[in-house]
Structure 1
């Protein structure tokens, strides 16, 4: 018997990953590259294996025109999770009351 497992996809942009690691911000039109290319590749990979996934979405960073894609994910049996509205990365430098919000 196969052990149960969970596939999660963190839908952050390249800019956010660069910021986390202290790298210079990428140049060019990268804002929607995850939703325009990588998301479809991830869904295809999951579908060929019959795997459902949870996609964590940061509300303030969803590019225009992506809502229909997200609804298709949901209809295909994937779960959409709230990854906060703005996903600040510097919580260790913020006041406790801000972190609780």
Structure 2
């Protein structure tokens, strides 16, 4: 016999973090914007852990915001399944590299 369950919600695992509130999310994105932006400005790239889809979406959004802020494209690539790398994209026309003879 199948029972219908109404108003039942799944509970997160005890070790799972709770989702951020809208205010916490905005503050965290602002922090990433500042910290990663400073590192990218200094070194040309930065890497940051991204364990969940939300972490990856957040970092891609930060890269788009940095691109709009600087007027230069900031690229995002996965280094592995747990890290993303944000970097300044060289927008100069590609030239052929000299051959090593």
- TM-score band (shorter)? 0.3 to 0.5
Higher relative contact order (CA closer than 8 Å, sequence separation 6+): 1
The TM-score normalised by the length of structure 1 is: 0.33
The TM-score normalised by the length of structure 2 is: 0.33
Higher strand share: 2
Of the two, which has the highest radius of gyration?
Answer: 2
